[in-house]
Amino acid sequence: MHQALTKEARLSGVGIGLRSPHLSSLLDAENSLSQSVPWLEVLADNYLDVGGFFGAHLSALAERYPLTFHCVGMSIGATDELNLNYLSSLKKLADKHNPVWISDHLSWSNFQQERSHDLLPLCYTDRSLEQMIKQVNQVQDVLERPLMLENISAYYAHPENALDEADFIHALCDATGCFILLDLNNLYVNHKNLGYDIQSYLKKLPIERIKQLHLGGHEQRGDFLVDTHGSAICDAVWELYEHVITHFGPIPTLIEWDNNVPSFEDLMAEREKADAIIETASQSLAISNTSRRNEARMSHIHG
């Protein structure tokens, strides 16, 4: 089992996903907004075996910011064999830039030789859990790093499902030592689309394994909420975030805004909103710790 990275401490606060229109702002040392960005999430698939300007700007960013690599191409829940060429390219990129975390999704996207380029929902059964454990272990062995897996948004639940998603994740973490990237927008979307019970879901997850949160926007399409990452985060997801941060602590968080990419200033405003929630929760936590200590001291004096 792979040990958590020692660099984990480097990641805190609210990072943003790297989008090309923001590149010049992020690389501008004089830009006061970019100075407040504590870390960047990079979609690693865009940089696999790619050179030129893409390769050069990633190197420049890696010198300035701690990076996390987010992936969409492992297809880790597929019944096919893992794509070792993909993993080898990813390992090469990770060895070069040393990301704090590498994550992908609790999903599949490849079927035989074909690629969907989409994140497809898993069947939650004992058999798929067994297969997933095998694949996650294999990925962690190839990458020589622990993997973080994200819950996806879904519009369809397989009729064969026999396990609850949160139980499935818990069992997977126990068996492989992998970590969780909890996407709160996806959880909310699944609550609306598939009737997930958010509180029960959160209770079932091993909190100590949640190392990152994702926040993003969605759209209403017909009867479904579709996870588009193309708009601001909705109020309900902000409330959920506040709840999670208050109860689970200041977990490093990422603002995802991949489509209809906003101005850097608008994205940073969204980032600051999340930062303020972490700050408030940290202060409340500090106050409650202080009063708990005071109470203990008083009871010791009077005791």
Partner 1 sequence: MDKFWHAISAQSLDDNPALQIYQTNFLAARLKALEYNFPLCKAQLGDDLFSAICKHYAHSFPSNYDSLNAYGQYFPDFLKEIIPHNPALQNTGYIAQLAELDWHLIQAYFAADDCLASMNTAEDEVTKNTYIVAPSSLGLCQITHPNLIRSMPFQTLIKEGFDESENLCANLQQDSQSTHSTLRHGPDSNFVKDIKDNEELQGHANTVYLAVVRQELRIYIHLLTKDEFSLLQLIRERTPIFKLDKLGLDPKMFSQSLNSFKQKGLVIGLKESQMQDKRDAKDDTF
Cα separation, 139 vs 176, in Å, equals 10
Q: Which of 58, 72, 173, 180 binds partner 1 (CB under 8 A)?
A: 72
What separation in angstroms does the CA of 54 have from each of 23, 85, 104, 105?
11, 20, 21, 24
Contact by Cβ (8 Å): 27, 64:
yes
Interface with partner 1, residue 149, by CB under 8 A: no
Helix (H, G, I), strand (E, B) or coil at 150: strand
Tokens, residue 33:
């907004």
Cα separation, 61 vs 42, in Å, equals 10
Interface with partner 1, residue 61, by CB under 8 A: no
Interface with partner 1, residue 120, by CB under 8 A: yes
From 6-14, 73-81, 177-185, 278-286, span contacting partner 1 (CB under 8 A): 73-81
Contact by Cβ (8 Å): 83, 110:
yes
Interface with partner 1, residue 85, by CB under 8 A: yes
Q: How far is the CB of 223 from partner 1 (least distance, A)?
A: 7
Q: Residues 12-51: x/- map of binding to partner 1 (CB under 8 A)? A: -------xxx-xx------------------x-xx-xxxx
Q: Residues 223-262: x/- map of binding to partner 1 (CB under 8 A)? A: xx-x--x----------------------------xxxx-
Interface with partner 1, residue 79, by CB under 8 A: yes
Note the Cα 279 to chain centre separation in Å. 20
Query: 300: buried, middle or exposed (CB in 10 Å: 19+, 13-18, 0-12)?
Result: exposed
Residues that bind partner 1 (CB under 8 A): 19-21, 23-24, 43, 45-46, 48-57, 72-73, 78-79, 83, 85-86, 89, 108, 111, 113-118, 120, 123, 155-156, 158, 193, 221-224, 226, 229, 258-261
